[in-house]
Amino acid sequence: MRVKAVLAALVLALTPATANAAANPYERGPAPTAASVEAARGTFAVTQVTVPVQTGFGGGTIYTPTSDLTFGAIAVSPGFLAPQSAIAHFGPRLASYGFVVITIDTLSGWDDPDSRGRQLLAALDYVVAHNTHVDASRLAVMGHSMGGGGTLRAAATRPALQAAVPLAPWSVTKNWSAIKVPTMVLGGQNDAVAPEAQHALPFYDSMTAAPEKAFLELRGGNHSAPASDNATVRKYTLSWLKRFVDDDLRYDQFLCPPPAPNTAISDYKDTCPHA
């Protein structure tokens, strides 16, 4: 009986699932499905803590998965004149899939993209210092409009970041060749505030040093669409962050091969296959 038990243990140890877990200790949560990546919540329960105004950013809310594990962390910024509530839905949703998330208020609604980039990095530094569940080697930034421009600035400033997701980004800077972070840009086809021809598309094209990049255009989308809580935004933001913050290859299936134009997506550009 003891020999059988040992053999059974050896067989279990050699199964692909166990081998994959050993190869990637950062995987969090069950294997994704087409339904799960579009769902409103993942499998982790989530706690939240309010952060008062800090020297480096305007305070915010930290969402943490209820677990003894460590997680990658994501800082999310709103856009021009927008409060934290405009992007707050990303906090509990992404945390429920296995990230520590801080959604921030900026020091002023008038803060420009470069200031928002500094505030995103300050928020990440705050989370690393104050949340014991954060793996400081796995950090990402995300933001809408001028917060998207701040996301690009943060990625250009700190190449050690694992991922960046600018949403309808706005910036007077058009050349982002300094970015060396995997970056997914989301835009709206009918964005009149940050028209893609002057913002999202030249930003994407200029990121020649990014190891991986993607551009997703929401069909008929206005300036607010990339920051909305809908199935397409849920699917692609989550998949990008999982793939590059957690190095979770299980999510690659939702990014490569790229989606063909459909009722939700009017254009998609990418660097598939991912290395």
Rounded-to-5 percentages of helix, strand, coil across the chain: 35, 20, 45
Looking at residue 2, its pLDDT comes to 38
Asked if residues 196 and 220 have their Cβ atoms less than 8 Å apart, the reply is: no
pLDDT for 51-95, tens place per residue? 999 999 999 999 999 999 999 999 999 999 999 999 999 999 999
Is 108 among the catalytic positions? no
Looking at residue 95, its pLDDT comes to 98
Catalytic-labelled residue, pool 77, 96, 145, 171 = 145
Q: Where are the alpha helices (DSSP H) in 76-134?
A: 90-95, 113-130
pLDDT for 189-238, tens place per residue? 999 999 999 999 999 999 999 999 999 999 999 999 999 999 999 999 99
Amino acid at 112: D
CA atoms within 13 Å, Cβ hemisphere of 18: 7
- CA distances to 7, 37, 38, 92, 179 from 34, rounded to whole Å, are 36, 6, 7, 20, 31
- The Cβ of residue 81 has, within 10 Å, a number of other Cβ atoms equal to 13
Catalytic-labelled residue, pool 223, 246, 248, 270 = 223
Catalytic-labelled residue, pool 114, 191, 246, 270 = 191
Residue 138's Cα: distance from chain center in Å?
A: 11
pLDDT for 229-256, tens place per residue? 999 999 999 999 999 999 999 999 999 9
Region 116-142 average pLDDT: 98
DSSP codes, 22-68: HH-TT--SSPP-TTGGGSS--SS-EEEEEE---SSS--EEEEEESSS
Is 223 among the catalytic positions? yes
The whole-angstrom separation of Cα 66 and Cα 84 is: 23
Confidence tier at 275 by pLDDT (50, 70, 90): confident
Asked if residues 125 and 133 have their Cβ atoms less than 8 Å apart, the reply is: no
* Model pTM score: 0.91
- pLDDT, mean over the chain: 93
Is 145 among the catalytic positions? yes
